[in-house]
Structure 1
């Protein structure tokens, strides 16, 4: 999980790093002289990544079911590195959109990461803690990314003594933060290549030369030698064996201390003739890795995917709208105000301040992820936690646009309350949905496909969210209803509440279904 977390943290740094300066980047491209339209183009930049990610999300998910999680994760990281480099050199909007699309096409890590965590952590009592680890990592990236993006963007303006005008930093004012992001992603690729272990049930015992090299490197350091020592197979997999055999029974295939992938007894025993072939060669027997489409995409799975997509739509809308909302200047011409709906104003903050605010938001998310979220999900369960937040989410979007009506001295206090509200909801609802999706899956061998579809659905919704909200925000500024985009997002959140209330409890599935699923998974585990 630690190695996986180091790989994961690279992406929020790269993804969130553009938010503090994307408004000013669009200004510098001179694609429009109308300040009210900048939000639309900023939404396009955000959506380019997610549209492209949608088109390949299912492909990467299914590919991870066939070749393993590790190669797909490393490919996604490499694609992110290429994307941020091109984005840093972007001279115009077209290249910027192309750069973001490259990142989305080559990155299917959202669904694959969910599958990897589900394969690592199967005990229900560990799920609340385990499923908050990746959100904690995202929060760390959300702290570093905006802070670096806001601080390093346009260095010739922010630090003229260090970056004099006329240099490459003047020609490409947004290159520096993207170089930093690319360097971080490169560290993540190296970390994953050397130390990330495969988790796919059928692929994890194949030889991994990168992991062998990483173990050799660790063996040269005194403090890490124990990490590379072979462990007894029976001890290593005792959690898998224990439910399947009596205490006095020995499985002959686990009587070796040789833990090398080539000679692994788990790999050799996969050819045992007593195990049904359709449990062993899952890529050939049915449509989706051993499970047919109708058996894979059951009603609970489909409802969880839909709820995940709706959630992605309105939360990404908030994330994209907020920096634009904070950077928007008050209108030059006074707009007639007619409360409660007609009003126009903005915070008029610079990129540094926006970056600091987003970083503080990430720090708060980190703290509650570590100390609050596992306790809440553990106490109330994933389903009740998800339903409560899904029902209450729309209130957040109703309230947010009214922050500009507060007296200047109270605006930041109001903003802090809204951000704490948003972060608390978001950090609870995503792990809850991930747990519900994993628990509703008919077989863990199809998790890559299920999470691939979920990731594609979320990417499509994330793509439409910023674009639609950008258009509505521009229309609202023009018409005098600056809350239009926020209130439209509230309607989407209400639809998410309806779907959330329809979600069944995974614990209520019929015993026969669970027995068949567990038996199927146990057959494959014994075979491996």
Structure 2
């Protein structure tokens, strides 16, 4: 089954139409005639219209126009699991790995002292690359099984279980004292976060109308960017709190109740535990929200009884009665929506209502009950569509979108690991500079400075995603925006290592700060355009709506493998470059090379597959 007609990846406005191809002609004709006859009120609730591509009017959909905003909100909070678990350690990973390696070296050789510092940058880069790669590698092995499980057992189950494991793994990670323990808990967190593709699938199932889907699919990348900003700043500021937050955890700190000489003892013993504990607490909130308020969206299971949601309704009613002191006079016992209409019919008495209440049926507020339109279409009468054979899912268009989906994290994840390590690497003396290719050293920044810098520019990425990306996507199309991002990435990676040759002291030392801003801004801008584009392109490439979970599971599996390979290979190449005195090796010979391959694939194979698919439709 091929994607429905009218889905044009060059415009990227739609993701998957709800009506199958064989029913579209009649359904669309009926819909258009019905809409032309439908009376219009004041137009107040209708989205504004603007001139779209080809001179056709298109609706301007705002964030407040999205349906099921409560479910999208809960899903967005759950999406914070990955950036909190995966990204928070990046600002302080150099210092975390250094402290662990120093302790292990000292335990093996008490006379080694600080001798480890002689090869610090290379060793820390190699080990931190393994630590970063463990999370996505674990995701790789479980993404497709999570997708299969969600297609048969439901979406909510996998999300709830994943969040519960993430809470435990994050807390334990912060109190680990050895590299092996760090690796174990990070791997467990990766296993718990193999359900990201399921969240994307739920977005498509929560927001079914085509005109809202482009906006809705921006939500998860937007939350991911927000989570990255928050977690990067959180990790940088809360790491080593006795030093970075002395007024709270120092010798005279507010929380130094035991009056320790160096500060709060447990943050001195575990200087990197506080960011992990904060992550665990926030993930616990997401877990509770998902249990009590997230509704199932899998076809055939969305109307089944959910004890968690019922419990959430009890909590809401209790909060309204006890805290807000609302009267419950508008509540009545309802078994289904039809009773809303029959409750006010002649012959319905209070005794009838009381008898229904006494039978133990669940109360529902009358004001919040809405009637569902009955779908009498032939598609609804046939029931849920049959599952496609596994091999039939991966058409040429799907494979093309999957490859692009995987190439993006292959270089982006490597950058996210290498760049903080590079910024933490001590600045090399000017004598180490030989020519435009042979130089080494980093910027020697502290973890708090790195976190604030990356977090501040991450805010710019959020603003780009909110205000710039929708306009670019409407003007250039999804594939067009993706191509623009692929032209920005190589330029950023080519110039990034030259920050090392800017002076650390003297009158010209100020130049490295705006130069650093240009590099960070360029990468975040390209990333902001690329991530939602690849998600939309992958969703459009799915041959049928009922295999979205499998397609996104495969995409997440491939992306997880790329996020594992990227930091591991990047860390090894960076370590070799620092050792050989060529810090730009990883930038020029790995990151730039991958982006060139991604651009060639996008302009070549993916573009042709999209054109062929359009011709067939």
Structure-1-length-normalised TM-score = 0.83
Q: From the superposition, tell whether residues 65 and 218 of structure 1 become closer, same or farther in structure 2 (CA, over 3 Å).
A: same
- 1:115 pairs, out of 198, 201, 204, with 201
Q: Which residue of 2 aligns with 1:8?
A: 79
Q: Which residue of 2 aligns with 1:18?
A: 89
Residues 339-371 of structure 1, C-alpha deviations (whole Å, 9 max, x = no match): 2x1111311111111111121122111111111
Contact conserved, 2:86 with 2:135, CA < 8 A, in 1? no
Asked if 1:354 corresponds to 2:450, the answer is: yes
Q: Unpaired runs of 5+ in structure 2?
A: 1-71, 106-115, 341-363, 503-507
Shift of 1:79: 2.0
Asked if 1:94 corresponds to 2:180, the answer is: yes
**Take 1:457 and 1:122, find their aligned partners in 2: how far apart are those partners?**
26
Q: What is the alpha-carbon root mean square deviation over aligned residues?
A: 3.2
Contact conserved, 1:22 with 1:42, CA < 8 A, in 2? yes
Residues 29-53 of structure 1, C-alpha deviations (whole Å, 9 max, x = no match): 1257221221111111111111111
Q: From the superposition, tell whether residues 127 and 428 of structure 1 become closer, same or farther in structure 2 (CA, over 3 Å).
A: farther
Q: Which residue of 1 aligns with 2:419?
A: 322
Q: Which residue of 1 aligns with 2:239?
A: 153
**Take 2:335 and 2:539, find their aligned partners in 1: how far apart are those partners?**
31
Q: Which residue of 1 aligns with 2:395?
A: 298
Q: Which residue of 1 aligns with 2:308?
A: 210
Q: From the superposition, tell whether residues 468 and 216 of structure 1 become closer, same or farther in structure 2 (CA, over 3 Å).
A: same
Q: From the superposition, tell whether residues 294 and 86 of structure 1 become closer, same or farther in structure 2 (CA, over 3 Å).
A: same
Moved over 6 A (4+): 222-231, 264-270, 511-514
Shift of 1:5: 1.0
- 2:596 pairs, out of 446, 470, 494, with 494
Residues 426-470 of structure 1, C-alpha deviations (whole Å, 9 max, x = no match): 111111111111111111111111111111111111001111111
**Take 2:336 and 2:458, find their aligned partners in 1: how far apart are those partners?**
39
Shift of 1:500: 1.1
**Take 1:345 and 1:76, find their aligned partners in 2: how far apart are those partners?**
40
Contact conserved, 1:436 with 1:506, CA < 8 A, in 2? no
Q: Which residue of 2 aligns with 1:175?
A: 273
Structure-2-length-normalised TM-score = 0.72
Contact conserved, 2:85 with 2:189, CA < 8 A, in 1? no
Q: Unpaired runs of 5+ in structure 1?
A: 236-257, 283-289, 515-528
Asked if 1:201 corresponds to 2:299, the answer is: yes
Residues 355-404 of structure 1, C-alpha deviations (whole Å, 9 max, x = no match): 11121122111111111111211221111111232244222211111122
Shift of 1:274: 6.3
Shift of 1:155: 2.2
Contact conserved, 2:82 with 2:193, CA < 8 A, in 1? no
Q: From the superposition, tell whether residues 354 and 86 of structure 1 become closer, same or farther in structure 2 (CA, over 3 Å).
A: same
The structure whose Rg is larger is 2
Contact conserved, 1:50 with 1:459, CA < 8 A, in 2? yes
- 2:606 pairs, out of 499, 503, 526, with 503
Shift of 1:121: 2.9
Contact conserved, 1:231 with 1:259, CA < 8 A, in 2? no
**Take 2:395 and 2:442, find their aligned partners in 1: how far apart are those partners?**
46
- 1:83 pairs, out of 147, 164, 169, with 169
List aligned pairs for 1:185-334, cutoff 5 A: 185-220=283-318, 221=320, 275=382, 279=384, 282=386, 290-331=387-428, 334=431
List aligned pairs for 1:441-456, cutoff 5 A: 441-456=542-557
Q: Report how many residues are paired.
A: 476
> Secondary structure, in 3 states, of the residue corresponding to 1:25?
helix
**Take 1:408 and 1:69, find their aligned partners in 2: how far apart are those partners?**
53
Q: Which residue of 1 aligns with 2:577?
A: 476
Contact conserved, 1:73 with 1:108, CA < 8 A, in 2? no
Q: From the superposition, tell whether residues 388 and 273 of structure 1 become closer, same or farther in structure 2 (CA, over 3 Å).
A: closer
Q: Which residue of 1 aligns with 2:359?
A: none
Shift of 1:13: 2.6
**Take 1:297 and 1:118, find their aligned partners in 2: how far apart are those partners?**
19
Asked if 1:375 corresponds to 2:471, the answer is: yes
List aligned pairs for 1:331-410, cutoff 5 A: 331=428, 334-339=431-436, 341-406=437-502, 407-410=508-511
